[in-house]
Structure formats: C-alpha cells, structure tokens
Amino acid sequence: MKKVLVVDDDKNICELLKLYLQKEGFETFFAYDGSQAVTSAKENKPDIIILDVMMPVINGWEACKLIRQFTDVPIIMLTALDTTENKVQGLNIGADDYIVKPFEPVEVIARINAQLRRAEKQSDNQEPEKTDSLLIVDNLEVDLDKYEIKLDGKVLKDFKPKEIQLLYFFMSNKNQVFTREQLLDKVWGYEYYGGTRTVDVHVKGIREKLKSKKSKWEIKTIWNVGYKFEIK
C-alpha cells in the first residue's frame, strides 16, 4: 500500500482528500504546518507528499527545502499562488509538480498516480546494467553511487538529486543534442505533468553551481531544440 502525506492547514481540504485517497487504497498521513510536515516525512516515510505553500510555523517552500535534504520522493505543491514565478520557485527548490487551488480531487489523484509511476519506472531503470557510476570529464566528476559532484577536486554542496541525475545523463551522452521532451522522458520518466519548463529550471540550477572558467565542457543551449553537453 502506497503512503501519501498531505500537508495543509485547511482541515476541510485534508478531509476531502482523505476520502478520495482512501477510496483509491492509499495509506494517508496528515500534517497541518510545515514543521509537522518535515517530522512526518521523516517518521512515516511516505511515497509521495502533497504540500501546501501558505502554512503557519514553516511555509511550504521552506518545508520542501528541508524535506529534500533527506528524501527524493515526489512532492506536489498545492497552492492558490497561480503565477509563473511561484511555479518556478517550487521547481527550483525541489518540487516535482504544482496544483493550483481550487482543484478537483480527481486531478490530484491523477497527478499522484502519474508521479508514482514515474518514480517506479525510474527506480526500475536505474537498477539493472548499471555500469559506470563515476563519470569524469576534465575537471568535473559525478558519482551517482554517492550522489556527489566534484569540480576542480572539491565536493560541491546544495545539488538536488534530480540535478545530479540530469548532469550524469548529459555526461553519459557527450555532444548529443536532446530536446526537453527527451530529457523529461530519460531523467524524469514518462507522463510527467510538470511540463518542459522544469528542464530549463534544472539546467539553470546546474549552471549556476558549476561556475568554472577553466573547464573544457559546457551545457550548451541549442535554440528552439534543447540542450547538449558539449566538449570544447
């Protein structure tokens, strides 16, 4: 039985989602502020988290950052803030999807199922035929076993798991051009609801953390197509 953690200070919303989630066979946990969300995520180890943004004690943005420090389970942000800036902010801090209030419960269930399928497919694809977990290109190293990145011999902090996976994929396919849709399929998995914008956000995050003037590589934007990891 899959476990879902629902975090919202509106108990009416929690009760509504509870009815639909239990009907679909999910084991459901609830938290009513950001601090409770972090504690519950550690203790109950949910398979997916529905996380409201505007909450007391710790808001959803901060809770997401804290949760991302110890788990890579899918997080769907639930909020009334329907702006591009807020959506990008959520993706930047590690959210996987974004649902705007008011919402239809059946849509939430569909998003949850899609994210769980993506996570399962990604897990299945990573297990077999894992050859070289350590990739080195010039002054850049990515270790997928340790989820560690080194630049000029120094370990870099603050990389999100998905950024590490995306960089590993780029380095595994040097000088090949990939569309955003292909990257979503290869790194995030099929039926991803977040849209291609999430690829741009993660590439931007990687670039900002890999500032190096002496490198012989770059993640190059191919306009109107996508990206490639180019060896100069």
Indicate the domain borders of the chain: 3-126, 134-231
* Averaged pLDDT of the chain: 86
CA distance linking residue 94 with residue 107, whole number of Å: 21
For tokens 């741009």, name the residue: 200
**pLDDT score for 127:** 41
Question: Hey, do 3-126 and 134-231 end up sharing a CATH topology, with the first three levels equal?
Answer: no
Contact yes or no for 21/64 (Cβ under 8 A): no
**pLDDT score for 2:** 94
Q: What is the pLDDT of residues 32-84, one digit of tens each?
A: 999 999 999 999 999 999 999 999 899 998 999 899 989 989 999 988 876 66
**pLDDT score for 124:** 56
CATH architecture of 134-231: Orthogonal Bundle (1.10)
**pLDDT score for 130:** 41
For tokens 């694809």, name the residue: 125
Q: pLDDT-derived band of residue 28, with 50, 70 and 90 as boundaries?
A: very high
Exposure pattern of 138-164 as b/e (b: 16+ CB <10 Å)? Answer: ebbbbbbeeeebbbeeeeeeebbebbb
Least confident interval from 23-37, 93-107, 110-124, 182-196? 182-196
Residue 3: closest CA among 68, 77, 73, 95: 73
Structure tokens at 140: 């850049």
Q: What is residue 60's DSSP assignment? A: H
Peptide bond into 102 cis (omega under 30): yes
Regarding the domain with residue range 3-126, which homologous superfamily does it belong to in the CATH classification? Response regulator (3.40.50.2300)
CA distance linking residue 217 with residue 230, whole number of Å: 6
pTM metric for this prediction? 0.60
